[in-house]
Amino acid sequence: MRVLVALGGNALLRRGQSPDADVQQNNLRASVTSLARLAERHELIITHGNGPQVGVLALESSQDPNLTRPYPLDTIVAETQGMIGYWLLQALQNALPGRQVAALVTQTLVSAVDPAFENPTKFVGEVYSQEEAEKLAQEYGWTIKQDGRYWRRVVPSPTPQRLVETRLIGRLVREGVLTVCAGGGGIPVIRNEKGRLQGVEAVIDKDLTGSVLAEALEADVFMMLTDVPRVARNFGTPQQEDITHTTPHQLRAEKFPAGSMGPKVEAACRFVETTGDMAAIGMLDEAERILEGMGGTIVTPNATWPLASTL
């Protein structure tokens, strides 16, 4: 079975933790165990988030006195793709001796006139108090928004159209290579007036890119692994209610935060509506249970779990 996993960036850098590389690598090594078990039984493609890491590196670039201007976001996305891809590559090679693993730097096409460029919504970087965030916004010209109890920087997040390297990724997967790609949603690029690829200031949502890639690669399952066990109605309130099995129609009748669960729900709905296959949202260490229908939120056209006969 072909499974595309979108791994949340908070698997590497959790709230309140130091952004030091060794902290993130330790978190990743603990996370890779679940992915390695999936890869032993299924054809696996892995994407990953980079929101915390992009924010950290963008802040460092803004503060570097040797730069005449900070590195643009497309370049920082490329940098984090290489960094996190290397960590995943090495961790997976150590967990799966003899298995061919590749980590690619990939570009994602977006529209130059996407309205997201005028309305930043994608959270990047560390969390701050409102006072700290407002001070940084004034100093660096950031746009900030509230993220739960905290405040964070937000940047444009245009809709992904297609990965430039889709055919190459497909070839690697068909050859049995465990492939890491589309990190951080992919490096955001447009085709300019001359038809050439050109980077843009944005960070694409990794889950929406994952949905586009899962469809293009004809994945049987598109799974988003994060730090919450399930999608929930009224999350964080006394009325919270977990959703186990559902349909795109039912999910679209609910309301979810635009900066966090909303894109995951939208990505799941798009994949299921387009392919008729299964999407899921849940915790990384429950990946196998999710495929068994015993964990996470499973989204299918008819709210049933259809894969038992294929495992």
Query: What local confidence, expressed as pLDDT, does residue 53 receive?
Result: 84
- Burial call 62-96: b when 16+ CB within 10 Å, e when fewer: beeeeeeebbbbbbbbbbbbebbbebbbbbbeebb
* Residue % of the chain over a pLDDT of 90: 66
Taken in order 6, 11, 16, 19, the sign of the CA dihedral is negative
Query: What local confidence, expressed as pLDDT, does residue 310 receive?
Result: 47
* Residues involved in catalysis: 9-10, 122, 206, 264
Query: What local confidence, expressed as pLDDT, does residue 15 receive?
Result: 54
* Residue % of the chain over a pLDDT of 70: 93
Query: What local confidence, expressed as pLDDT, does residue 311 receive?
Result: 44
pLDDT exceeds cutoff 80 at 2 = yes
CA distance 215 to 210: 8
pTM across the whole model: 0.88
List pLDDT tens digits, range 6-57.
998 665 655 555 666 777 777 777 778 889 999 999 999 999 998 888 888 9
Query: Rounded mean pLDDT of the chain?
Result: 90
